[in-house]
Amino acid sequence: MKIAEIYQKYPVPPNLQEHMLRVCVVTEFIQKHWKGIEKLDWNMIYQAALLHDMGNIVRLDLENHPEFLGKEQKNIAFWQEQKKKNIKRFGTDDHKATESILKELSFNKKLISLIFDMGFANSIKIKNNNNWPVKILYYADSRTLPRGFGTLKERMEEAVSRRPLLAKIDDFDELVAASFEVEKQVQNKLDIPLSEITNKSIRINKKFLQIKV
């Protein structure tokens, strides 16, 4: 099944589609400039990037932020109904919703594990291990903003402004510090500065919608 078909089968709002496509574009940038000796399954990394937020519709605040739908804002009633259907079917936890969707699609455990190992809460673990697919995915996700690409610092600030309680977790400072260490680790594997990831240098590419999983 192609990514585009999955996005239709489980209706994914345009803003979430764009986010996952942006993460995929950053992973492509990293692949193009990779100088590491590690042999990685880049196709699986792309797949994980394009599927990692499949269930996030259950926590979208469409009532207060309908602008996130972009041109689809005119169809907000449809997306509100899709949100209700997903909550009824999968619950309000976006991670559990994503996991349920991926299992329904019978994806292999390695792909699912890759997706759930890349979260902010795992950043210390990500820093300390040599799981490069997870490092790459976590970093790529950390360079995307709601409306484009940004620095790691900008992403951290944006996340806290959107979810203030995030900054109050006990090990928040350590998790942030680990994220910046991951950035250094990724940079050491590339032949180009990561600062080259900007809204001018890379753009969403819908060719990734044709990837088969």
The whole-chain average pLDDT of the chain stands at 94
The verdict on pTM exceeding 0.85 is: yes
> pLDDT (tens digit, 9 = 90+) per residue, 35-84?
999 999 999 999 999 999 999 999 988 888 888 888 899 999 999 999 99
Give the orientation angle of helix 42-51 with respect to helix 14-32, to 10 degrees. 160
Pairing of β 144-145 and β 148-149: antiparallel
Alpha-helix runs per DSSP H in the chain: 3-9, 14-32, 42-51, 76-90, 94-104, 109-116, 123-128, 132-141, 152-162, 172-187
> pLDDT (tens digit, 9 = 90+) per residue, 105-127?
999 899 999 999 999 999 999 99
> CA–CA separation, 85 vs 154, rounded Å?
33
Q: Per the structure block, which two tokens stand in for 108?
A: 């292999």
Q: Per the structure block, which two tokens stand in for 122?
A: 């795992």
